[in-house]
Structure 1
Amino acid sequence: MSNLQAQLGDAVKAAMRAGDKPRLATLRMISAAIKQKEVDERRSLEDADVLAILDKMGKQRRESVEQYEAAGRDDLVSAEKAEIAIIGEFLPKALTEAEIDEQIAAAIRETGAESVREMGRVMARLKPQMQGRADMSAVSARVKQQLG
């Protein structure tokens, strides 16, 4: 069991003791997604795998917030934002814009990439360092801009 899974288990127990049903529901949803991935892949997940799941869940909820705001569904927006906050508790501290740019520049230097066609090598280098700490689609756009 990964360290994040242990933290998640402790958070579930604390939410149960506190009687915090909305928080408990979100934590159970996260646990279910992790368990599903373990069953699908027939292996125990490491922290990096759990971070990828949490990152994906956060991204899905941010997209939902945009759609609900466009539709004027403020009740659903607040529920999604609450879930984003709970998911965010288990993600590492987000990188600043300067830190992202610094890591991109270092990855470009290390890989020797000179054009957009070599972007895959740069992204492969960045993903383990940035997973859960930055929006990877935004990072990809920045890499493309710097290589282009």
Structure 2
Amino acid sequence: MSLENTINEAIKTAMRAKDRVALDSLRAVKSQILLLKTEARDAEVTEDQEIAILQRMVKQRKDSYDQFTAQGRNDLAEVEEAQMKIIEQFLPKQLSAEELEAEMKKIIAETGAESIKDLGKVMATASKSLAGKSDGKSISETAKRLLS
């Protein structure tokens, strides 16, 4: 089942349960998917594009959560955190720090990277192979640490 169909089913479930936070989150995801489809016109929307949308939305909510927490607005921070958790349910299983490090070591070996100068080559490969499984910031930090 495509992400769009899964989201539509989840929206129906949230409506029946009268779960306002889930409904708002899911409608935002659906809106972004429809926007992507409109921009793509006749082209098919890929799973990678859908994952990128979800990751961007999670990152936006995490940033908002951090800002609200820093400002002492816990009421708004809780809403952002709840929405973030709902959206994360549709992402592939995220790699743990140990799993990410193991994957990065494999990628570094495959690319033949030896120093921080090869970071671009490692990041290009890692971004493609780990898309949806880890966020770019974690990938970058791990790559820098391993190449230093």
TM-score, normalised by the number of residues in structure 2: 0.90
Identity %: 36
Contact 1:58 1:84 in 2 (8 A): yes
Q: Which moved more, 1:85-94 or 1:7-16?
A: 7-16
Q: Could you tell me which runs of 5 or more consecutive residues in structure 1 were left unpaired when the two chains were aligned.
A: none
For structure 2, the 5+ residue unaligned runs are none
Aligned counterparts, 1:1-148, within 5 A = 3-42=2-41, 43-148=43-148
What is the RMSD of the two structures over their aligned residues, measured on CA atoms? 1.6
Deviations 1:43-76 (A, max 9, x none): 3311111111111111111111111011000110
Q: CA deviation at 1:133?
A: 2.2
Stretch of structure 1 that moved more, 70-79 or 130-139: 130-139
CA distance in 2, matches of 1:44, 1:24: 26
Letter in 2 for 1:9: N
Distance apart, 1:6 and its partner CA: 1.9
Q: How many residues align?
A: 147
Does the Cα contact within 8 Å between 1:55 and 1:131 map onto a contact in 2?
Answer: no
CA deviation after TM superposition for structure 1 residue 5, in Å: 2.0
Secondary structure at 1:114's aligned position in 2?
coil
Residue type at the aligned position of 1:88: E
Cα distance in 2, alignment partners of residues 4 and 12 from structure 1:
12
CA contact (8 A) 1:8 1:31 kept: yes
- Once the 2 structures are TM-superposed, how far is the Cα of residue 20 of structure 1 from its aligned partner? 2.3
TM-score for both structures, normalised by structure 1: 0.90
